[in-house]
Amino acid sequence: MNLPKVVEEALNEQINHEFYAAYLYLSMSAYCESIRLPGFAHWMRLQSAEEHSHAMKLFDFVNDRGGRVVLETIAQPPVEFQSVQDVAQRTLEHERYVTERINQLFALAVQEKDYATQVHLQWFVAEQVEEEKSASEVVDQLKQFGGRPEGLLLIDRQLAGRKGD
């Protein structure tokens, strides 16, 4: 069964959003490097790589279903942030946005009775729970420490030890 055209278009749009997220998180990583927080930079670099892998997972799925991947221009992400707290908060907000997009894609697949896409998107639904939890934990930790340098350095050290998927 070929991919319904409306689903193919929506998946292509999501591929673009996933690549944008990879670009956004890489920009955040560069910012964190510039303020000498290598652990936060490492975390954002891992997030960037993960978003790239999500885009490729969708890319391969569209191709496997006989669809056509059409890559669009990726918007320039912000390059300046107010603080590492701003980076963490924007990361959480972006993950919530992605969750909403994935939910909309799933609803479209249900509407189109596209069962293969529904099954494929279940992985993304579960992944977004993990993504939001991870970003939320960093935001909460930053709030707990109230911006105290020793707390910031502790979180930075913790994030430096994170492993990629």
Q: Which of 7-21, 58-72, 147-161 has the lowest mean pLDDT?
A: 147-161
Print burial letters for 59-92: b (CB count within 10 Å at least 16), e (below 16): bebbeebebeeeeeeeeebeeebeebbebbbbbb
Do the domain assignments include residue 144?
yes
Do the domain assignments include residue 165?
no
Query: What CATH number is attached to the domain comprising 53?
Result: 1.20.1260.10
Tokens of 74: 């990726």
Do the domain assignments include residue 95?
yes
Number of domains in the chain: 1
What gap in Å lies between CA 69 and CA 62, rounded to an integer?
7
pLDDT for residue 80 is more than 80? yes
Print burial letters for 125-154: b (CB count within 10 Å at least 16), e (below 16): eebbeebbebbeebbebbeebeeeeeebee
Do the domain assignments include residue 82?
yes
Tell me the residue range of the domain where 22 lies: 5-160
Closest among 27, 119, 13 to 79, alpha carbons compared: 27
* Confidence (pLDDT) at 162: 80
Do the domain assignments include residue 81?
yes
Chain segment 104-113, per-residue pLDDT in tens: 999 999 999 9
